[in-house]
Amino acid sequence: MSDNVKFEQRLCADGSHQIAIATLNNIGSLNALTFNMLEQLHELLIHWRDDPSIVCVLLEGEGEKAFCAGGDVRAMHDVMSTQTKAQAQEFCTNYFTLEYQCDYLIHTYPKPIIAWGEGIVMGGGMGLFMGASHKVMTPSSRLAMPEVTIGLYPDVGGTWFLNQLDEGIGLFLGLTGVMVNASDAVDIRMADYILPAESRERLIETLQIQYWVKGSDNGAEENHGTVNDVLSLLSEHSANEVEDQKPSNQLIPFGSKIKKACEGNDLSNISREVLAIDSSAHPEAEAKWMSRAQQSHRLGSPISSHLCFRQIKEYQHLSLEQCFRLELGLSVSCGLLGEFQEGVRARLIDKDGEPVWLYKSIESVDSGVIDDLFMSLWEEDSHPLAKLGR
C-alpha cells in the first residue's frame, strides 16, 4: 500500500521513555492525505497519547519534496463527478469529519508534537502542521493555503489559524493562495524554527538523551519545555548554517501594503487594493512573488474569495471547536456546489488551467449563494463534530 503512515518508536537513554515518529507516506502524490492515511494517523496519535512511555511525537513527510501537499482532492473529484449527490455528500462528510478530528487532536494534544515541515506544506498539510505545538521548517520549506485556485476555501482550521495572524495577513494569504517561504513563515508566526534539513536525525538523538517526566499535567508542561530547550539549542548551534541557506523575505517587505489593502469590510474594494499593490520599487524576487500572488487572486474562484472574506471578517471570535464545526458544513456544501469539482478538474485532472467558475467576478457573486454555503447541514446535536472539545 503506497498511501500509509509509517511509524517508529525510538527508545530514550533512560530506558523507559520513547520518542514516537509518524511519517506520512504517499510520496508519489507529495504525501497528500488519503482517507486511509488519516485513519492510521488518527489511530496512532490516540494510541501514543494514551501510552505513558511516549513523551514526544515527531510528525513528518516521506522524502525531501513535501511534508504534505494537501488532502486527497483527486478522490473527492472522482466521487463528485461520477456518483450521486447523496453519495458525494456522504463521502465528503466522512472524509472531512475524519480530517478535522485529526487536526483537532493535534491542536489539543497533551504531549509535544514536533511537525517537521520540510518541503511543501499546503492545504491539508497545513491543518496538521499548524496544530503542532512545535512547528519546524527547513530553509527550502514553503507553505500555502491555495484553495482559492481550486474553488474551495482555507479549511482545516484556517478559520482559526489565519485569524491568529496580524490583521490583513491571513486574509491576503487566503485570497491569493500564495506560497510563503521559511523566513516569512517564522516572521509572521506560522512556524517556530528553521533548522537545516540534515538536523532531523540530530534532533531525534538529542530528544532521546533528555530527562523526561511521566504523567500528570505538570509532567506534560515540563516535557513541552524540554522540547523548547532542544529546538532552541539546535537552532542556536545551526544559526550560521541556516543564515547561509534560508531565503530572503518576500512577504515581510510588503507587510504594511498588504495590511492596508486588506482593511475595511468591502471585498470588492479589498480585491482592487490587493491587485493594485505596487511592487515596482522592490527587488525582482519580491516583485515576482507579489505578481504571483496577484495573478492567483485574479484567476481564483470568486466564490472562494467570498468564503475566505467571511471567515476572516465574521468568524474571528469562534473557538477552535466552533471553527471546525463551521468548516465541516461549509466544506461538504462546497463539494455539492460544483465550484470545487471544477477547480480540481482544471488544476489537477485535465490540467488545462482554465476553470469555468460559476461567477466571472467577485462583484457578480450572489450573496445568497454564500449565505446558503454557511448554513449548517445538521442540527447542533446531530452534527458529526458535535462532541469535539466536550
Residue-wise pLDDT for 145-181, tens only, equals: 999 999 999 999 999 999 999 999 999 999 999 999 9
Q: Which structural domain range is residue 120 located in? A: 4-373
381: in domain: no
259-263: long-range contacts, CB 8 A cutoff, minimum separation 24? 259/166, 259/167, 259/168, 259/169, 260/168, 261/168, 261/172, 262/167, 262/168, 262/169, 262/171, 262/172, 262/175, 263/168
CATH number of the domain that residue 163 is part of:
3.90.226.10
E strand segments, the chain: 4-11, 18-25, 54-61, 66-68, 113-117, 120-122, 134-137, 142-144, 180-181, 193-194
Residue-wise pLDDT for 15-54, tens only, equals: 999 999 999 999 999 999 999 999 999 999 999 999 999 9
Q: State how far Cα 143 lies from the chain centre.
A: 8
Residue-wise pLDDT for 209-238, tens only, equals: 999 987 555 567 899 999 999 999 999 999
387: in domain: no
33: in domain: yes
380: in domain: no
| Nine cell digits for residue 358 | 460559476
Q: What's the mean per-residue pLDDT of the chain?
A: 96
Percent of the chain with pLDDT over 90: 96
pTM (2 d.p.): 0.96
CA distances from 111 to 56, 107, 160, 228, 292 (A): 6, 10, 21, 13, 39
310: in domain: yes
Total domains in the chain come to 1
Residue-wise pLDDT for 244-283, tens only, equals: 999 999 999 999 999 999 999 999 999 999 999 999 999 9
158: in domain: yes
- By mean pLDDT, which of 2-6, 128-132, 232-236, 240-244 is the weakest? 2-6
